Structure 1
Amino acid sequence: MDNRELRECAAVALSVLDLTNLKDDCTAAEIETLCARAQTAHGATAAICIWPRFVAQARAIFGENGLIRIATVVNFPSGDLAVDEVVRETVQAIADGADEIDLVIPYRRFKEGDEAAVAGMVRAVRAVCPQSVLLKTILETGELKDPQLIRRASEIAIAEGSDFIKTSTGKVAVNATLEAADIMLQVIRDSRRNVGFKPAGGIGSVADAALYFRHASAIMGENWIMPSTFRFGASGLLNDIDAVLSGTAFSTPQAGY
């Protein structure tokens, strides 16, 4: 990839980035910094992704202009909460100002054969999300491992009304992979529904982002990548995007969420 292509890729990556801080010890001061970082000299990120306890703070900072969306997580990261508890989390997050809900499926129960647990969880959360609130369903593909399980989880999540399917929480040993992306994108294509894709965890450079862009374009078409259909969940990726767009560094693969 030459410098021009790298800069073009960086600009698109910025526009589809969910700038994330889901550290267990995240503080209000770090959220303030995150909100400021999301508004870069090169443009804004698509969203920030934060713990529910910080949603009201972020909404107060951003106001109601809607330029940068606020995503939060529920049933996160374990996927083990009861449906009614997850619904309460979701309702409160939306009341606090969340624009997007990233829901972890009960992936351990799903691995044991309980498809109904996944369908019921997604359906219940979808039911309390207004049309304006995106539901991004996290499959935790690194824990599912089996391609058939990843495929089936994707199908269920889409059938129950998910706006996006997302690979990972970023909290397990294996997070986003191109192999999982391939399966999930094929399911989206075959569903013929307007569903987006979000790889998350381990995407730390524009070079990494380019691999996912190529993969998505090959399956979904050249004009498919936009904030309404594609997001990256990452914290470190913005550093490399800034470096590339500022002309201060070349992109090299990096670790991290």
Structure 2
Amino acid sequence: MDIKQYLDSTYLKTAEQAGLSQPENLEVARTVIAEAITQNFKLVMIRPDRVAFAKEMIVAAQSEVLVGTVIDFPEGTESLAKKLEEAQQAIADGADDLDFVVNYTAFKAGEEALVKDQVLQCSQLGLKNGKTVKWIIEIAALTNKEMIALSSLIREVIIQNFEEQYWQKVFVKSSTGFYKTQDGKPNGATVEGIKLMLEASAPLPVKAAGGVRNYDEAVQMIQLGVKRIGTSSAKAIADGKIAEGGY
């Protein structure tokens, strides 16, 4: 198993969140992108304003590493128009993967029609431009019942509106890594959560994001059936070490 081809090496902190100046934060992003190129990870996942920068580095290195970015991150509560605008810019900048935060707040409030429309139209934009689309459901904010229902909603929208050849291009993804939990509860992927997502979203693929701390945990997730793993410690995982990062 080439575990590196499952790893989306991730750096999504703003300068303020990282406690750095803007130039220092850009340098961290540069280091993460360069490491992804050297290690030949599947993808490097960065903020939208770094997409063009990352693409330039990857093209210059003649690398096959993909560039992913997040849309409406991390809350997912912006309008459909705002989501589409942000995604369109990311596409123009060269993003390969678009990881949208689903409006899970609206879903929890019973606004299923709004969520379905966003999933349909944003997926449509990504797929027609040849991109991989991922929907972050933020499992730490959901009950098990809600997790199953939201994963199922995404599955139904995709299966009902797109031909089968596109189904493997739309993922259900566990977490942003930025959700604030209470009492030290995990805010990323858990075995229980991933099992529920896999069952509810099949045949769509699943990405386990956050909470995967070492090689054995990564292998366990892959054996469960996930197709991608999002982590800020991709090299540590690939090297068989314990991740020190918070995602």
DSSP 3-state at the match of 2:209: coil
Query: Is there any run of 5+ residues in structure 1 with no aligned partner, and where?
Result: 1-7, 217-224, 245-250
Shift of residue 213, structure 1, vs aligned partner: 2.2
- One-letter code of the match for 2:34? A
- One-letter code of the match for 1:213? I
Shift of residue 139, structure 1, vs aligned partner: 0.4
- Give TM-score, length-normalised by structure 2: 0.83
Cα distance in structure 2, aligned partners of 1:32 and 1:237: 15
Cα distance in structure 1, aligned partners of 2:242 and 2:124: 42
Shift of residue 254, structure 1, vs aligned partner: 5.3
Map of 1:5 onto structure 2: none
Matched positions, count: 221
Q: 1:128 aligns with which of 125, 128, 144?
A: 125
Map of 2:65 onto structure 1: 68
Q: Which has the higher contact order (CA 8 A, sep 6+)?
A: 1
Map of 1:89 onto structure 2: 86
Map of 1:45 onto structure 2: 41
Superimposed CA distance per residue, residues 153-178 of structure 1 (whole angstroms, 9 cap, x where no aligned partner): 11121223371100000111322111
- Give TM-score, length-normalised by structure 1: 0.80
Shift of residue 215, structure 1, vs aligned partner: 2.2
Query: Is there any run of 5+ residues in structure 2 with no aligned partner, and where?
Result: 19-24, 159-168, 182-186
Cα distance in structure 2, aligned partners of 1:110 and 1:126: 17
Map of 1:13 onto structure 2: 3
- One-letter code of the match for 1:47? L
Compared CA separation, residues 66 and 152, structure 1 to 2 (3 A): farther
- One-letter code of the match for 2:171? F
Map of 1:105 onto structure 2: 102
CA RMSD of aligned residues (A): 2.0
Shift of residue 240, structure 1, vs aligned partner: 3.3
Shift of residue 13, structure 1, vs aligned partner: 2.4
Shift of residue 253, structure 1, vs aligned partner: 6.7
Map of 1:32 onto structure 2: 30
Map of 1:185 onto structure 2: 198
The answer to which structure has the higher helix fraction is 2
The answer on whether the counterparts of 2:123 and 2:170 sit within 8 Å (CA) in structure 1 is no
Cα distance in structure 2, aligned partners of 1:256 and 1:206: 16
Cα distance in structure 2, aligned partners of 1:73 and 1:153: 19
- One-letter code of the match for 1:178? V
Compared CA separation, residues 104 and 116, structure 1 to 2 (3 A): same
The answer on whether the counterparts of 1:154 and 1:165 sit within 8 Å (CA) in structure 2 is yes
The answer on whether the counterparts of 1:175 and 1:201 sit within 8 Å (CA) in structure 2 is yes
Map of 2:238 onto structure 1: 241
DSSP 3-state at the match of 1:63: helix
The answer on whether the counterparts of 2:8 and 2:234 sit within 8 Å (CA) in structure 1 is no
DSSP 3-state at the match of 1:81: coil
- One-letter code of the match for 2:201? I
